[in-house]
Amino acid sequence: MIHFREIAAHYGLGGLLSAPEPVLGGLLHTTYRLDTPEGSYAAKILNPAVMKRPGAADNMIRSERIARAMAEHIPAVAAVERDGSPLSLIGGEYVMLYPWLTCRPVFPPKIGARHAEKIGAVLARMHEAGAALLRSGTIPAEGSASPSSPRVWEEEYASAEAAAPGAPWLAPLKEAVPMLDELEERAGKGSPSLTPSVLSHRDLDPKNVLWEGPSPRIIDWESAGETDPAAELLEALLSWSACDGQLREDLFRAMADAYRSVRSVEGEPWDAVFDASFRGPLDWLAYNVRRASGQETDPDGNHDRMVGASEVSGTLRALSARIPQLETAREWLGV
């Protein structure tokens, strides 16, 4: 049970004018619209399975510090702070509160060149600001993570089959095991060569950008942290130019040109960037395999398991499509 009245009282919103409305779109957490005498807000209720991880609360707080610092340079949306923190524990739930925005995301096929240009320029300014923030120590560096060993997907499949025998997403997962092992090897080869030299959003895809006419607002900063700028640029190019599994050249070039007009990409380790680009989707797939099979879900998390199963299927398709997409991206970038 979510304690909405306690949330409103904690943030001094003066009560609720109507029943909170769920907001569609979150893949990890749940969000509700709260209408109050003080205005309308988005209350994000954080996934309890995620928040049980060591350091999860600290990571959420740090990501919002990054968002607040970035808001001085780009149109970033940061959480409301209460008692000096953007994260509150209310009625056993971790909560973050945001101002309600009337703007909406834009998805393919409605993404146009003007959207791509705006995001390319915003990302470049974010990287410029993120490099300065790291140099100044305004937000301390996380420290280098120990390189992980390549995942063995036959073992991942076996664990999932034992936990959720007969699940319909198991067959395509098993079929994809040879491809996944090959991509793990490529990701493991590329990742150590990248330098996390900027602070950035790290999940700048269309679902995390709201549009008010031609103006973007960047939301959902929970993945924010250090990254290699070329690696994030490639991810953004792929996510904003993809339509029905294919890349649109007009969108890709519009974003790349807008980025390059602000920030150079010369001298980047592109071979490593392309190989390492499989790391994020592989990690997301592994998380959702555990989620769908109930290995990383609360006992009553049926909805969470359903979302996980959907993401397993979608991520497998995306990984298959990424292989030819990267060849196209390399040609269009000229690297």
Across residues 260-265, what is the average pLDDT?
96
**Which tens digits make up the pLDDT trace of 24-35?**
766 788 999 999
User: For all residues of the chain together, what is the average pLDDT?
Assistant: 94
Query: Which CATH code, of 3.20.20.450, 3.10.310.10, 3.40.190.10, 3.90.1200.10, is assigned to 113-333?
Result: 3.90.1200.10
Name the 3-class secondary structure at 45. strand
Domains 4-99 and 113-333 belong to one CATH topology: no
CATH label, 4-99, candidates 2.30.30.40, 3.30.200.20, 3.40.50.720, 3.90.400.10: 3.30.200.20
Please say if the pLDDT value at position 273 is more than 90: yes
CA separation for the pair 154, 161 (Å, rounded): 10
**Given this model, what pLDDT does residue 35 score?**
97
**Tokens 């959003």 identify what position?**
201
Q: Helices (DSSP H) in 83-228: which residue ranges?
A: 113-136, 153-163, 170-190
Min mean pLDDT across 96-110, 207-221, 264-278, 301-315 is at 301-315
Domain boundaries of the chain, sorted by first residue: 4-99, 113-333
pLDDT at 150: 85
- 298 φ, ψ to 5°? -65, 155
- Residue by residue, DSSP assigns 65-82 as HHHHHHTTTS-B--PPPB
User: 96 pLDDT exceeds 80?
Assistant: yes
The separation between the first and the last C-alpha atoms of the chain, rounded to the nearest angstrom, is 52
